[in-house]
Chains A and B, each alone.
Chain A
Amino acid sequence: AQRVTQPEKLLSVFKGAPVELKCNYSYSGSPELFWYVQYSRQRLQLLLRHISRESIKGFTADLNKGETSFHLKKPFAQEEDSAMYYCALGEYGNKLVFGAGTILRVKS
């Protein structure tokens, strides 16, 4: 069965520290992976899509098929990065399977 695992419910870092939000998946085919972010009182927003290989707001994520991972990274955390982050696996026709989410808290 398709599954997305985000092992950390909460990740707390200091401003300027590196950030890595972990995401592991199980999928039998060629996955399409996404990171969505939800800032306080805002809707769920697309942050990254692995096929576009973009860097958004300083975040990057590399798909590692060998380790079935799609970890989200940023070299220097900013306070405005504090939010809920969801990793999602795209199946046929854009159906998304979400992880449980990780709260990122950036302390000043």
Chain B
Amino acid sequence: DAGVTQSPTHLIKTRGQQVTLRCSPKSGHDTVSWYQQALGQGPQFIFQYYEEEERQRGNFPDRFSGHQFPNYSSELNVNALLLGDSALYLCASSSFLQAARFGPGTRLTVT
């Protein structure tokens, strides 16, 4: 089991563009959460998906949206990119009573 996988590894976008990040959960996990980690800070919760629905949401604007597919994989979409969106985006998967396991992250740079 490769654990949680994310793609792409790195991404460079221009202000105003849109981006899609992808995540495949660890085998046996059905819940996917997304986190944003700015330089020098701890991860900040964006939202969580379970049974293809957004179950919880952190303090992020509507420009951040997501999706979960029937195979439990997930996408994070960010519209109208701002310079401040530059960060490491982490995907974590979990299931009932199972602690969250993290992917390697996608480094997004907005220029």
Contacts and interface: CB of A to CB of B under 8 A. Distances in A.
Interface of A: 4, 34, 36, 43-46, 49, 86, 88, 90, 92-101
Given A43-B4, A98-B43, 17 more contacts: A43-B104, A44-B102, A45-B102, A46-B100, A46-B101, A49-B99, A86-B43, A88-B42, A93-B31, A95-B56, A96-B43, A96-B45, A96-B92, A99-B42, A100-B40, A100-B42, A101-B41
Q: Classify the secondary structure of B's interface with A.
A: strand
Contact of B103 (A34, A43, A101): A43
Given A34-B99, A99-B42, A44 B56 contact: no
Contacts of B56: 92-93, 95
